[in-house]
Structure 1
Protein backbone atom coordinates (compact mmCIF):
# COMPACT_ATOMS: atom_id res chain seq x y z
CA UNK A 1 0.00 0.00 0.00
CA UNK A 2 1.34 3.43 -0.95
CA UNK A 3 1.48 6.09 1.75
CA UNK A 4 0.58 9.69 1.09
CA UNK A 5 3.20 12.34 1.73
CA UNK A 6 2.44 14.21 4.97
CA UNK A 7 1.93 17.45 3.07
CA UNK A 8 -1.04 15.96 1.15
CA UNK A 9 -2.91 14.53 4.16
CA UNK A 10 -4.68 17.83 5.08
CA UNK A 11 -5.69 18.35 1.45
CA UNK A 12 -7.14 14.83 1.20
CA UNK A 13 -9.02 15.27 4.50
CA UNK A 14 -10.43 18.61 3.36
CA UNK A 15 -11.53 17.10 0.04
CA UNK A 16 -13.23 14.15 1.72
CA UNK A 17 -14.99 16.52 4.12
CA UNK A 18 -16.20 18.69 1.26
CA UNK A 19 -17.53 15.66 -0.59
CA UNK A 20 -19.31 14.32 2.50
CA UNK A 21 -20.96 17.65 3.44
CA UNK A 22 -23.69 17.62 0.75
CA UNK A 23 -24.64 14.04 1.63
CA UNK A 24 -24.81 14.88 5.33
CA UNK A 25 -26.90 17.97 4.62
CA UNK A 26 -29.25 15.98 2.42
CA UNK A 27 -29.84 13.40 5.17
CA UNK A 28 -30.22 15.98 7.93
CA UNK A 29 -33.76 16.60 9.11
CA UNK A 30 -34.35 20.26 8.39
CA UNK A 31 -37.92 20.38 9.63
CA UNK A 32 -38.80 23.79 10.88
CA UNK A 33 -41.15 24.45 13.75
CA UNK A 34 -44.67 25.56 12.85
CA UNK A 35 -45.47 29.27 12.86
CA UNK A 36 -46.17 30.62 16.38
CA UNK A 37 -49.81 31.37 15.58
CA UNK A 38 -50.33 27.71 14.60
CA UNK A 39 -48.25 26.37 17.50
CA UNK A 40 -50.50 28.32 19.88
CA UNK A 41 -53.50 26.32 18.61
CA UNK A 42 -51.61 23.06 19.10
CA UNK A 43 -50.64 24.09 22.63
CA UNK A 44 -54.32 24.40 23.56
CA UNK A 45 -54.59 20.62 23.38
CA UNK A 46 -52.60 20.29 26.60
CA UNK A 47 -54.94 22.51 28.68
CA UNK A 48 -56.63 20.20 31.21
CA UNK A 49 -59.77 22.15 32.09
CA UNK A 50 -62.38 21.77 29.29
CA UNK A 51 -63.68 25.35 29.65
CA UNK A 52 -60.16 26.82 29.59
CA UNK A 53 -59.24 24.57 26.63
CA UNK A 54 -62.27 25.78 24.66
CA UNK A 55 -61.44 29.40 25.48
CA UNK A 56 -57.85 28.77 24.38
CA UNK A 57 -59.04 27.27 21.08
CA UNK A 58 -61.46 30.15 20.47
CA UNK A 59 -58.73 32.73 21.15
CA UNK A 60 -55.97 31.05 19.10
CA UNK A 61 -58.15 30.03 16.17
CA UNK A 62 -59.33 33.64 15.97
CA UNK A 63 -55.70 34.80 15.89
CA UNK A 64 -54.94 32.21 13.21
CA UNK A 65 -57.88 33.43 11.07
CA UNK A 66 -56.67 37.02 11.46
CA UNK A 67 -53.15 36.00 10.38
CA UNK A 68 -54.58 34.18 7.35
CA UNK A 69 -56.70 37.19 6.37
CA UNK A 70 -53.63 39.45 6.69
CA UNK A 71 -51.70 36.97 4.49
CA UNK A 72 -49.22 36.38 7.34
CA UNK A 73 -50.16 32.69 7.31
CA UNK A 74 -50.76 30.69 4.15
CA UNK A 75 -52.59 27.39 4.32
CA UNK A 76 -52.27 24.94 1.46
CA UNK A 77 -53.32 21.34 1.03
CA UNK A 78 -51.17 18.67 -0.61
CA UNK A 79 -52.87 19.05 -4.02
CA UNK A 80 -52.24 22.81 -4.04
CA UNK A 81 -48.56 22.17 -3.28
CA UNK A 82 -48.36 19.60 -6.10
CA UNK A 83 -49.82 22.10 -8.56
CA UNK A 84 -47.36 24.76 -7.41
CA UNK A 85 -44.42 22.36 -7.89
CA UNK A 86 -45.70 21.48 -11.38
CA UNK A 87 -45.86 25.16 -12.25
CA UNK A 88 -42.26 25.65 -11.10
CA UNK A 89 -40.99 22.53 -12.91
CA UNK A 90 -37.83 23.31 -14.85
CA UNK A 91 -37.04 26.63 -13.19
CA UNK A 92 -33.79 27.07 -11.28
CA UNK A 93 -34.81 28.11 -7.80
CA UNK A 94 -32.89 28.31 -4.54
CA UNK A 95 -33.03 25.20 -2.39
CA UNK A 96 -35.81 26.05 0.05
CA UNK A 97 -38.63 24.00 1.49
CA UNK A 98 -41.28 25.94 -0.36
CA UNK A 99 -44.47 24.06 -1.26
CA UNK A 100 -43.25 21.00 0.63
CA UNK A 101 -40.08 20.77 -1.46
CA UNK A 102 -37.60 18.05 -0.64
CA UNK A 103 -40.16 15.32 -0.08
CA UNK A 104 -40.68 12.20 -2.12
CA UNK A 105 -43.31 13.89 -4.30
CA UNK A 106 -40.91 15.94 -6.41
CA UNK A 107 -42.22 16.44 -9.93
CA UNK A 108 -40.34 14.25 -12.41
CA UNK A 109 -42.42 15.04 -15.52
CA UNK A 110 -45.27 17.21 -16.74
CA UNK A 111 -47.85 16.65 -19.43
CA UNK A 112 -49.51 19.51 -21.27
CA UNK A 113 -50.51 20.74 -24.68
CA UNK A 114 -48.78 23.27 -26.88
CA UNK A 115 -50.52 26.63 -27.03
CA UNK A 116 -48.10 28.15 -29.56
CA UNK A 117 -44.56 27.95 -30.92
CA UNK A 118 -42.14 30.53 -32.24
CA UNK A 119 -38.48 30.58 -33.26
CA UNK A 120 -35.91 31.96 -30.82
CA UNK A 121 -33.15 34.27 -32.05
CA UNK A 122 -30.88 31.28 -32.60
CA UNK A 123 -33.54 29.56 -34.72
CA UNK A 124 -34.45 26.92 -32.15
CA UNK A 125 -38.13 26.36 -31.35
CA UNK A 126 -39.79 27.82 -28.26
CA UNK A 127 -42.90 26.00 -27.05
CA UNK A 128 -45.54 27.87 -25.06
CA UNK A 129 -47.59 25.41 -23.01
CA UNK A 130 -51.23 25.71 -22.02
CA UNK A 131 -50.25 27.05 -18.57
CA UNK A 132 -48.03 29.75 -20.11
CA UNK A 133 -44.71 28.03 -19.36
CA UNK A 134 -42.12 28.49 -22.10
CA UNK A 135 -39.60 25.80 -23.05
CA UNK A 136 -36.83 26.22 -25.63
CA UNK A 137 -35.35 23.42 -27.68
CA UNK A 138 -31.57 23.27 -27.21
CA UNK A 139 -30.64 20.03 -28.98
CA UNK A 140 -32.01 17.40 -31.30
CA UNK A 141 -33.55 17.51 -34.74
CA UNK A 142 -35.95 20.39 -35.34
CA UNK A 143 -39.33 19.73 -33.77
CA UNK A 144 -42.32 20.89 -35.76
CA UNK A 145 -45.14 21.30 -33.27
CA UNK A 146 -48.48 22.94 -33.70
CA UNK A 147 -51.14 24.25 -31.38
CA UNK A 148 -52.90 21.45 -29.52
CA UNK A 149 -50.07 18.91 -29.83
CA UNK A 150 -49.47 16.99 -26.62
CA UNK A 151 -46.10 17.44 -24.92
CA UNK A 152 -44.45 15.49 -22.11
CA UNK A 153 -41.37 17.01 -20.48
CA UNK A 154 -39.29 14.77 -18.22
CA UNK A 155 -36.20 15.30 -16.14
CA UNK A 156 -33.12 13.88 -17.84
CA UNK A 157 -29.52 13.45 -16.74
CA UNK A 158 -27.41 16.19 -15.18
CA UNK A 159 -30.30 18.58 -14.58
CA UNK A 160 -31.49 18.68 -18.16
CA UNK A 161 -34.98 18.07 -19.58
CA UNK A 162 -36.25 15.95 -22.43
CA UNK A 163 -39.46 16.73 -24.34
CA UNK A 164 -41.62 14.33 -26.34
CA UNK A 165 -43.79 16.35 -28.66
CA UNK A 166 -46.74 15.16 -30.69
CA UNK A 167 -46.29 11.71 -32.19
CA UNK A 168 -42.81 11.03 -30.89
CA UNK A 169 -40.67 13.99 -31.92
CA UNK A 170 -37.99 14.31 -29.23
CA UNK A 171 -35.81 17.20 -28.15
CA UNK A 172 -33.68 18.37 -25.26
CA UNK A 173 -35.22 21.54 -23.79
CA UNK A 174 -34.74 24.16 -21.09
CA UNK A 175 -37.33 26.25 -19.27
CA UNK A 176 -37.10 29.94 -20.01
CA UNK A 177 -38.51 32.84 -18.05
Structure 2
Protein backbone atom coordinates (compact mmCIF):
# COMPACT_ATOMS: atom_id res chain seq x y z
CA UNK A 1 0.00 0.00 0.00
CA UNK A 2 1.44 3.34 -1.06
CA UNK A 3 0.91 6.24 1.31
CA UNK A 4 2.12 9.82 1.32
CA UNK A 5 3.76 11.26 4.40
CA UNK A 6 2.99 14.90 5.03
CA UNK A 7 4.50 17.20 7.62
CA UNK A 8 2.20 18.92 10.09
CA UNK A 9 0.13 21.70 8.45
CA UNK A 10 1.07 24.27 11.10
CA UNK A 11 4.74 23.71 10.34
CA UNK A 12 4.06 24.21 6.64
CA UNK A 13 2.17 27.44 7.10
CA UNK A 14 5.13 28.94 8.94
CA UNK A 15 7.85 27.54 6.69
CA UNK A 16 6.03 27.59 3.35
CA UNK A 17 7.63 30.84 2.10
CA UNK A 18 11.07 29.31 2.64
CA UNK A 19 10.18 26.09 0.87
CA UNK A 20 8.22 27.66 -1.96
CA UNK A 21 11.02 29.10 -4.02
CA UNK A 22 10.40 27.88 -7.56
CA UNK A 23 7.91 25.26 -6.37
CA UNK A 24 10.49 23.34 -4.32
CA UNK A 25 9.68 19.68 -3.78
CA UNK A 26 9.31 18.20 -0.33
CA UNK A 27 11.31 15.04 0.08
CA UNK A 28 9.81 11.96 1.66
CA UNK A 29 10.89 11.62 5.30
CA UNK A 30 13.80 9.25 5.92
CA UNK A 31 11.60 7.04 8.12
CA UNK A 32 9.52 6.35 5.00
CA UNK A 33 12.39 5.95 2.53
CA UNK A 34 14.17 3.61 4.96
CA UNK A 35 11.09 1.37 4.88
CA UNK A 36 10.99 1.40 1.07
CA UNK A 37 14.70 0.51 0.94
CA UNK A 38 13.97 -2.77 2.76
CA UNK A 39 12.55 -4.26 -0.44
CA UNK A 40 16.03 -4.32 -1.98
CA UNK A 41 17.26 -6.88 0.59
CA UNK A 42 17.47 -10.28 -1.10
CA UNK A 43 17.46 -12.55 1.95
CA UNK A 44 13.83 -13.07 2.97
CA UNK A 45 14.49 -13.22 6.73
CA UNK A 46 16.66 -10.09 6.67
CA UNK A 47 14.09 -8.29 4.50
CA UNK A 48 11.29 -9.22 6.92
CA UNK A 49 13.38 -8.08 9.91
CA UNK A 50 14.06 -4.79 8.11
CA UNK A 51 10.36 -4.29 7.36
CA UNK A 52 9.41 -5.04 10.97
CA UNK A 53 11.94 -2.55 12.31
CA UNK A 54 11.14 0.22 9.82
CA UNK A 55 7.36 -0.19 10.13
CA UNK A 56 7.78 0.19 13.89
CA UNK A 57 9.81 3.40 13.33
CA UNK A 58 7.17 4.72 10.93
CA UNK A 59 4.39 3.91 13.40
CA UNK A 60 6.23 5.73 16.21
CA UNK A 61 6.87 8.76 13.99
CA UNK A 62 3.17 8.95 13.19
CA UNK A 63 2.15 8.55 16.85
CA UNK A 64 4.58 11.35 17.81
CA UNK A 65 3.16 13.45 14.94
CA UNK A 66 6.62 13.78 13.41
CA UNK A 67 4.88 12.81 10.16
CA UNK A 68 1.27 12.67 9.14
CA UNK A 69 0.13 9.94 6.79
CA UNK A 70 -2.83 10.94 4.69
CA UNK A 71 -4.53 10.33 1.38
CA UNK A 72 -5.48 12.40 -1.63
CA UNK A 73 -8.99 13.01 -0.28
CA UNK A 74 -7.58 14.63 2.88
CA UNK A 75 -5.35 16.87 0.75
CA UNK A 76 -8.41 17.93 -1.28
CA UNK A 77 -10.24 18.73 1.97
CA UNK A 78 -7.26 20.84 3.06
CA UNK A 79 -7.34 22.69 -0.27
CA UNK A 80 -11.02 23.44 0.26
CA UNK A 81 -10.32 24.74 3.75
CA UNK A 82 -7.59 27.02 2.44
CA UNK A 83 -9.53 28.17 -0.65
CA UNK A 84 -9.19 31.93 -1.00
CA UNK A 85 -5.76 32.23 0.58
CA UNK A 86 -2.64 32.82 -1.48
CA UNK A 87 -0.54 29.74 -0.97
CA UNK A 88 2.91 28.94 -2.27
CA UNK A 89 3.28 26.14 -4.78
CA UNK A 90 4.20 23.17 -2.63
CA UNK A 91 4.20 19.55 -3.67
CA UNK A 92 2.15 18.81 -0.55
CA UNK A 93 -0.89 20.32 -2.31
CA UNK A 94 -0.46 18.12 -5.38
CA UNK A 95 1.92 17.81 -8.25
CA UNK A 96 2.30 20.17 -11.17
CA UNK A 97 -0.65 19.79 -13.52
CA UNK A 98 -3.11 18.56 -10.88
CA UNK A 99 -6.55 20.09 -11.14
CA UNK A 100 -6.76 23.22 -9.02
CA UNK A 101 -9.84 24.11 -7.05
CA UNK A 102 -11.52 26.88 -9.06
CA UNK A 103 -14.75 27.31 -7.13
CA UNK A 104 -16.32 26.41 -3.83
CA UNK A 105 -19.96 26.02 -2.80
CA UNK A 106 -20.79 26.54 0.86
CA UNK A 107 -23.40 27.92 3.23
CA UNK A 108 -23.40 31.20 5.14
CA UNK A 109 -23.18 30.68 8.90
CA UNK A 110 -23.44 34.41 9.67
CA UNK A 111 -23.42 37.68 7.74
CA UNK A 112 -23.09 41.29 8.80
CA UNK A 113 -22.46 44.71 7.29
CA UNK A 114 -19.87 47.22 8.42
CA UNK A 115 -20.49 50.99 8.66
CA UNK A 116 -19.76 51.48 4.98
CA UNK A 117 -22.35 48.84 4.03
CA UNK A 118 -19.87 46.15 2.98
CA UNK A 119 -20.64 42.58 3.89
CA UNK A 120 -18.62 40.04 5.83
CA UNK A 121 -19.63 36.38 5.71
CA UNK A 122 -18.61 33.54 7.95
CA UNK A 123 -19.15 30.23 6.18
CA UNK A 124 -20.03 26.86 7.72
CA UNK A 125 -16.37 25.81 7.72
CA UNK A 126 -15.36 28.99 9.61
CA UNK A 127 -13.87 30.80 6.60
CA UNK A 128 -14.40 34.59 6.69
CA UNK A 129 -14.95 36.59 3.51
CA UNK A 130 -15.13 40.38 3.23
CA UNK A 131 -16.71 42.40 0.43
CA UNK A 132 -14.29 44.66 -1.46
CA UNK A 133 -16.57 46.21 -4.07
CA UNK A 134 -19.57 48.47 -3.59
CA UNK A 135 -22.16 46.19 -5.22
CA UNK A 136 -25.38 46.10 -3.22
CA UNK A 137 -26.98 42.64 -3.04
CA UNK A 138 -30.67 42.61 -4.04
CA UNK A 139 -31.50 40.66 -0.92
CA UNK A 140 -29.58 40.78 2.35
CA UNK A 141 -27.45 37.66 2.80
CA UNK A 142 -28.47 35.56 5.81
CA UNK A 143 -27.43 32.42 7.64
CA UNK A 144 -28.39 29.29 5.72
CA UNK A 145 -28.05 30.84 2.26
CA UNK A 146 -25.88 29.04 -0.27
CA UNK A 147 -22.82 30.82 -1.68
CA UNK A 148 -20.78 29.96 -4.75
CA UNK A 149 -17.26 31.37 -4.69
CA UNK A 150 -15.02 31.45 -7.76
CA UNK A 151 -11.71 33.02 -8.61
CA UNK A 152 -11.69 36.51 -10.12
CA UNK A 153 -8.69 38.68 -10.96
CA UNK A 154 -5.96 40.17 -8.78
CA UNK A 155 -6.50 37.80 -5.88
CA UNK A 156 -10.18 38.56 -5.46
CA UNK A 157 -13.17 36.25 -5.76
CA UNK A 158 -16.72 36.50 -7.07
CA UNK A 159 -19.32 35.37 -4.57
CA UNK A 160 -22.87 34.61 -5.68
CA UNK A 161 -25.41 34.37 -2.88
CA UNK A 162 -28.32 32.08 -3.78
CA UNK A 163 -27.44 32.44 -7.49
CA UNK A 164 -27.83 36.22 -7.53
CA UNK A 165 -25.46 38.78 -9.03
CA UNK A 166 -21.88 38.33 -7.80
CA UNK A 167 -20.14 40.58 -5.33
CA UNK A 168 -16.35 40.80 -5.20
CA UNK A 169 -14.81 39.55 -1.96
CA UNK A 170 -11.52 38.44 -0.43
CA UNK A 171 -10.76 35.84 2.19
CA UNK A 172 -9.76 37.37 5.54
CA UNK A 173 -9.83 34.41 7.87
TM-score range, shorter chain: 0.7 to 0.9
Q: Which has the higher contact order (CA 8 A, sep 6+)?
A: 2
Does 1:154 find its partner at 2:153? no
Question: Counterpart of 1:83?
Answer: 77
Instruction: Measure the CA separation in 2 of the matches of 1:115 and 1:169.
Output: 20
RMSD of aligned Cα (Å): 1.8
Rg comparison, structure with higher value: 1
Q: Say which SS state the counterpart of residue 114 (structure 1) adopts.
A: strand
With structure 1 as the length reference, what TM-score do the two structures score? 0.77
Does 1:111 find its partner at 2:108? no
With structure 2 as the length reference, what TM-score do the two structures score? 0.79
Question: Counterpart of 1:58?
Answer: 52
Q: What stretches of structure 2 of length at least 5 have no aligned partner?
A: 1-21
Instruction: Measure the CA separation in 2 of the matches of 1:105 and 1:167.
Output: 25
Matched ranges for 1:37-76 at <5 A: 37-76=31-70
Query: CA 1:85 to 1:103, structure 2 compared with 1: closer, same or farther past 3 Å?
Result: farther
Contact 1:140 1:170 in 2 (8 A): no
> Which whole-Å deviations, capped at 9, do the CAs of 1:93-144 have from their partners, x for residues lacking one?
4443444375513211110011110113433000111111111111142222
Q: Say which SS state the counterpart of residue 139 (structure 1) adopts.
A: coil
Matched ranges for 1:95-110 at <5 A: 95-100=89-94, 103-110=97-104
Contact 2:107 2:146 in 1 (8 A): yes
Instruction: Measure the CA separation in 1 of the matches of 2:154 and 2:104.
Output: 18
Query: CA 1:174 to 1:120, structure 2 compared with 1: closer, same or farther past 3 Å?
Result: same
Q: Say which SS state the counterpart of residue 34 (structure 2) adopts.
A: helix
